[in-house]
Chains A and B, each alone.
Chain A
Amino acid sequence: MKRLSTLALIAGAACLDFGVAGTALAAPSCDGAIQLGSVSTITGPVDFSDGPKGAKAVFDQINEAGGINGCKIEYTMADDKGDPQVAAQAARDLIDNKNVVALGGGASLLDCAVNAGTYKRNDVMSVQGVGVDPMCFNAPTIAPVNVGPYTLTTAMLDYASKELKDEKLCTFFIVLGGTQEAYAQAVKRWEEMSGKKIHLVDMTLPLQGDLTPYLIKARDAGCDAVLTNQVEPGVVQMINTADAQKIEGIDWVFLASGYTEGVAKALPNTKQPVYLGTEWEPYTETNEANADWMATMEKAGLPKTAFSQGGYLAAKVLADMIASMDGPVTRERLGAKLLEGKPMKYSIAGSEYVFGDAAKHAPMQATKVMALSEGKWVPKSSGWYVLPAAN
């Protein structure tokens, strides 16, 4: 009994100690609400709104609980409509009129490409939710929380070579905008890492059109694995065409852009081996790592998609960064804090997130590999497939 009360005393003292230290350590202060925002493609050719909505859900939850040390967050979701001019205007509005202290949680086709210069000139840091274009991974003031198609290309080539034991690796890319060089770089990185040579690189895959000639080309070139950056409908088309051509013995490898339940459901009967790499903890899995994200989305009444994981994670990063600050939360001070480059660990991602002071950022270097099985995506292993750090 005596021992128990001693324990209780120690525990109580520890709590007290922690509490005191907690308040003394860091306390952000604010004058009015903290302004945050993002530029995303919401209407237009694609709807990426799940990204910023996921971020907003996190901030709403924080505000409901009283804010960060009493500071409420006001989050503005701007829509770039997939249009460069609108994207540029949206960024200026956020920076000049809304006076955002940082950007985060955005998911856009072209925000980085259009606005990287603006962000740099205004010293605005952007924690991109889902970075798509190459500029997202090549700018000093942008650091996405997703792995991105280029790093994933390298990772999946490595996976096919090491884990699937494929010898002849072939790649077919749809090239949009300035992505050709980024994909070429990604393939080159794998070649340098592995000391192997890519068997075939084709940068002419059409966005629309018949894929039969390309699949025949891959087959006749003797490819063991074919990696492409197809988006959802393209993945389905490719596998259906492979089935129609009775192609066997090729591992079909895709990037996160093919990872949706729609794709799995549209391919219920195929026997083709289909793999892809995810950006984060697979969103189709209900597990510990996804628990907080799932609860947040459920509370906000949002669908659970991979994009919302990106928005969620970016918002967590920003909120935690702000919470660790001492004193007023301004653009300069939050920017400086991000540039310090303190690694941040979240269960939903395989790498530690680091912003840091660098000319370009691609902190996320880990993926989980999923395989298609009877109309469902199934994890290949419980662990992360991690690339050695980018140089």
Chain B
Amino acid sequence: MMNLLEVANLKIWDRSTGKVIVSNSSFQVKQGSCLAIVGESGSGKSVTCRAVMRLNQAGLLESGDILFNGENLTRLSEKEMRKRRGKNLCLIMQNGMRAFDPSCVVGVHLKETLAAHFGWSSGEITAKMKHAMESVMLKNPIELMNKYPHQLSGGMLQRVMIALAIVLEPDIMIADEPTTALDTISQYEVIAQFIRLRERMGCSMIFISHDLGVVRKIADEVLVMKDGEIVESGTTQAIFSAAEHEYTRYLVSTKLALNQHFKRIMGGVHVDPR
């Protein structure tokens, strides 16, 4: 299988303090596969993904190569890079409630994005978004597009972002802890949409999470990060059954312990040990 994204020797550090955030990361995402990046908060997961999209703050410097479809993203002009954001590389944010301009109805962002990439008319955009939103189980899409972000729930906004991604048809989707800010039921729905999305569109995905249950369900390969370094990488099955690194084993065992604890307090009620 061809590599869609190849990150080589990525280093990210803070310009003013000189603190290294990601020391030397190299990884690949194969065409159509899903790579999960797991690790605790502050391990450099989000920064790595933003570096791929060249969206880190100006205070963060980076070196290394990011090859996307054979093209080195680090050498592109800002204008060329902007054309690829959204269209080729699509980001799904962690907190849907804060991802949309609070002063505009949700539809404004959708229209601006799609008009920027495809130059469609307002009517075309509404029709395409309506279809996509219905496919992620959002009812009354037209009404939703005329609502302000604070009038919708986090889960709904997350699905609006997924619907936008469906219309954009990116080559790779980067989801930055998309379920962390959600309650369990919304989490389940959003994850279901991600799995369907991958089945339907076959696009590659980078899935950042610290929820190993979710990772096990969705990912083909897993990358474990700790303190800005990749400590382990491999197929999902290998990581969960025979982790080599101590930290990974620790993560997996805590997950198992939590599951058992959960089962015990549920008193033998059958639960899905995701």
Do they bind each other?
A: no
